Amino acid sequence: MVYDSMSIHQNHISMLSLEIKYLPIMLFPKIKRSFNIRWGDYVVIEEHVEIPEKEIEDRFLDFLLNFTVPDEKGFGKNKYAEELQLIATDETKRSILIDYTDLALYDPDLATRFIQNPEKILRIFERAFRRALKMMNEDLTDVVLRKYRVRFKNIGKTISIRELHRAENLGRIVSFRGIVVKAVKVKPILRRALFRCLSCGFVFPIEFEGEFQKPSECPNPACDNTTRFEMLKDGMEFEEFQELTIQELPEELPPGQLPQSVNVVIWGDLAGKIRPGERVTVYGIIKTVLEKPLKAGRRPLFDIFIDALYIEAETGEAGEIEITEDEKEKILSLRNDPNLEEKIVRSIAPSIYGYEMIKKAIAALLFGGVPKILPDGTRIRGTINILLIGDPGTGKSQLL
């Protein structure tokens, strides 16, 4: 019998219990280092058993409807059912944010399965979410329901951006902190389309998780067409899509190292809410994309990107900053301050002495410019860019 050391958990009670002396000797040192066990000790080995998707869907639906937390008076408050009711009746809300620690507390086995197979289980979770919304608002159509997403926070192993590229992390859920250095404009992306077979007329849908792919065969058992299909424009469904570039935080850089970055893709209601310059925590799945088309004699190199489950800005909810009335008054009073420019410059990297001109340029970068169209039709963009060149150790990264 073969045992996988990755499936052995110290705190899991599972199907199989046996003495350590029956485990393969090559496995023992790794277990011993991990759990400090000795010969003759009993260990528990978790045997992974597949369960039907319908059961997973029902269990997550039960979690959404019945997970409770104490309210101000000490009574049980249904944490997510109230939010479901609000989402089902508010057209501006397209997702529900789940705290992973809540799921792990309510159904540990389901939480573990999600970590082990995030892409598959997430699709099942979203089916359960849509079922719950349909229960609360029967007017929601299937086309509308497919736009709703389940998001998670407080999930995944926390690592640094430069650790994301390690092979052992591919396909896993991770979390990391960084600063947004680039945000591509929001674009619609095709997520679902209807195709008609030109041989038999059969109409069928295809959902796209990544790149566009043409049908490879007609689903009609009586038809053998594999090449002739027509995509119907009326059956296209789009979703908002945006790509961000997130860079390591200056204070977390190893000495003498340049900052590394990673691309993050976000979908739906998250798109357009994150701005360059914001410090964020990202929760997502590490995925790969081929750098160049496969070709004989060429190395099959892949690059990574993060398919975001959720992005949390350090200012609070993504894209939102709360300002009190007192703070608002103080900000407005600065309009009449003759030394306003000097105060802004001094507030940028105050721990670094001097560099007034560079700090003024950074201030201009933060405020941004105003696009202009000249009389001859030439368009001048309002975006400001900065390039700092200098000797190592002079504070360039800290300034930016």
pLDDT band at 226 (very low <50, low <70, confident <90, very high): confident
- In whole numbers, what is the pLDDT of the chain averaged over residues? 80
End-to-end CA distance of the chain: 56
Q: What is the pLDDT of residues 320-371, one digit of tens each?
A: 566 788 888 888 888 888 888 888 888 888 878 888 888 888 888 877 778 8
What pLDDT, in 10s, does the model give residues 139-186?
A: 888 888 888 899 999 998 889 898 888 888 888 999 999 999 888 888
Query: Which whole number is the average pLDDT over 13-31?
Result: 38
Confidence (pLDDT) at 45:
45
pLDDT tens per residue, range 35-45: 455 544 444 44
What domains are there in the chain, each with its CATH number?
Answer: 5-45 (no CATH), 53-153 (3.30.1640.10), 157-186+242-313 (2.40.50.140), 191-237 (2.20.28), 333-399 (no CATH)
Identify the pLDDT of residue 223.
92
More confident residue, 72 or 37: 72
Q: What is the pTM of this model?
A: 0.65
> Cα–Cα–Cα angle for 189, 265, 153, nearest 5°?
125
112 or 385, which is more confident: 112
Q: What is the pLDDT of residues 106-150, one digit of tens each?
A: 999 999 999 989 989 999 999 999 999 999 888 888 888 888 899
205-211 mean pLDDT: 78
Residue 264 has pLDDT above 90, yes or no: yes
Determine the pLDDT at residue 247.
92
